[in-house]
Structure 1
Amino acid sequence: MGYRKYVGLVTFVTLAFVHFSQADLLKVCVDTAACHTGGDANSVCAKKGETGGDDNGNCICNGTYKANVAGDACIVKALLQTCTNNAACQNTQSGGDAHAVCAKVGETGGDADGNCICNGTYKANIAGDACIAKALLQTCANNAACQNTQSGGDAHAVCAKVGETGGDADGNCICNGTYKANIAGDACIAKVLLQKCANNAACQNTQSGGDAHAVCAKEGETGGDPDGNCICNGTYKEKANACVVKAVSELDCKPADTDSTTGGTAVCKAVDAHANCPAGTSKCACNNGYKQDTTNVNTCVKVLGGTCSGSSSCTGADNSECSATSSKCVCVTNYIEDSSICKKALGQTCTKAEECVTNADCATTCKCSSGYINTGGLCALPSSASSVWMTTRVVVSSPLIYVLRLIY
């Protein structure tokens, strides 16, 4: 019995010694030296008003260090440190985080030596020593859940419910009206469009809410004022506080202006070579035979030969229809494709030459003009047609020449 008491006493004393000899972070302090004594060389004494401090002073790890899991020592923060692989960033015993990855050069946030950053659905906390879930676009019960910066939120976020802009049945954290999500989607930044500006650079800084296609309009300029106003440039428009490309049909033009650079048609053709500024309008349009692309709305695409699901799909090319057999836009009966549009075929009744194919006249019916001949339904110069005949003749006669050479 006496032996067991002795062993128990030794065990108790040993445990007590281990406990009191450990570095004691978060202990009361008067200065940083007090934190180093029996503590950790990488700790500092934070006072009231300082991060992690209080009235009595509090020992905490300094900026590039953080407390380990046990809270008794300072370890290097892994985030933003160099790395060779993901495992190095995720080792929690050496300052890493389970949601960190090693980004290499060419990857977002990476560099030549490798850089520990939080993965796509996480972001670094304010201290920069841990990864926290991004609150934006996450489910929420109220605004407070979206605004809690300690858990990945943003002070300018709100919880949008079903029926509200950007909301859904479970609630959705989004940036409030005067703010928008940054490129990473993990913080709210002030909207720049329609805000005051000194120059174009201020409007185009995407890191502070700007847009690469915005400009600073001054007084006397369209959309400008004395203090400067960030607006989207001429070929772009504002949508959800971003500049998106205008469709061909949304571009302003002046038909009466014939200047080769700034004139109505010139403005439209600068966007697409197959666009023009029709008389009697103030907007650009695609030429006959072309239509505005449904995906790249600032582009005119050829109608004939395009896939269709009904005649309405072939709108943009007069006298065309959707072929039931090929599901392609083709010219209707008695019309033929000529330079991407449908013209009346030779021999068809007409009232003016413009209805007929190129280089044809209208004499009750369409016929090739003098000096032109019918070549595949179109009118071409005889030299063009004879060149085809000559090519064929040479190819056919070549074997005969070869035989004659052998004989002689």
Structure 2
Amino acid sequence: MDAKLSLLIVGAAIFALTHHCSAELFGACAADGECTGAGGDANAVCDTGADVDGNCVCASAYKDFGGDCVAKGLGDNCADTSDCAGVSNAECSGTTCACAANFRNDGGSCVCDGQYKMDGVNCVSKGLGDNCADTAECAGVSNAECSGTTCACAANFRNDGGSCVCDGQYKMDGVNCVSKGLGDNCADTADCAGVSNAECSGTTCACAANFRNDGGSCVCDGQYKMDGVNCVSKGLGDTCTANSDCAGVSNAECIGSTCACAGNYRNDGGSCVCDGQYKLDGVNCVSRALGDSCSADGHCAGVTHANCNTNCVCEGQYKVDGAACASKGLNDTCTDDAHCAGVSNAECDTTCQCISGYTASGSLCDSGVSILPSMLLFVCTFAITVFMN
């Protein structure tokens, strides 16, 4: 036997032996080992369900790819999730391998979806401080948004241990944070900033001093008016509805609908001072009296027949009589005849005296002619006439 023939016999024997011990895909087989040995595929199994001899096919988690068994990928057919084990975090959805919940297909791999991040082997919702590209990626935290490239609490909310809660000056209204109003709880005045001119009084938002609650807004109380951002006392000339509205000015009252000085007072640069003929007596304006200072005759009008000579004094023909001015009488001092006009037939001679031909008779000036001789002449004449008849 020559050498060539010997080689042919040996080759045939080897082929027969290997063909009997292992089989290629779709080749006949009787057991799995015949599909995984030399010349077979480590991921093949012997499928005996199709016929008696059986055939080598890829295991359920694998598929035929050019005669080789390769792991199934996303989109391949499956019967259960174990068929998709070749892709981490994939599952059998219906009859197709797909990424599990919270994962997405990224070039055949399952990576965490936008709003999730990898936590070991699981995808968990992103939290405050995690990276983001848009607000949807921060959806795992209520009331969060993507600020720049980071998940953060939206406007009016603050981070409270990883959750977004209403900031101090806001309160929850359904799903939104709205400004706190009068009557809401507070810890400091900043919590009440949603209402102008409000402050935290105790633990409740209330209007600040000089303001009052008008339908949820703080407006100036009756006796005050708005001056820029502050309530200041109303002054003379400001509108009013009651005397109390004018309380910022002493001795003012509401006259008509305007703050004005009360009776006996006048406006002196925004203050109410006693009018000319009056003086302040404690808290009231009273008429000036004799001896009170003055600068015009009108200031002494409270005393009849008085005029001003630095102080209120009686006019020339009058003299002080208690708190009043009375006409001068005989023997009162004078400097002019007019000062004695209160006594008929009197003149001034340092003091008021009766003029020549008149004599003082009590408080009057008498002519000095006696009536007794006239009466005697009348009686005698009457008697003679009667006798002669």
Q: TM-score range by the shorter chain?
A: under 0.3
Higher strand content, 1 or 2? 2
TM (normalized to structure 2)? 0.28
Highest RCO, 1 vs 2 (Cα 8 Å, sep ≥ 6): 1
- The structure with the largest alpha-carbon Rg is 2
TM (normalized to structure 1)? 0.27
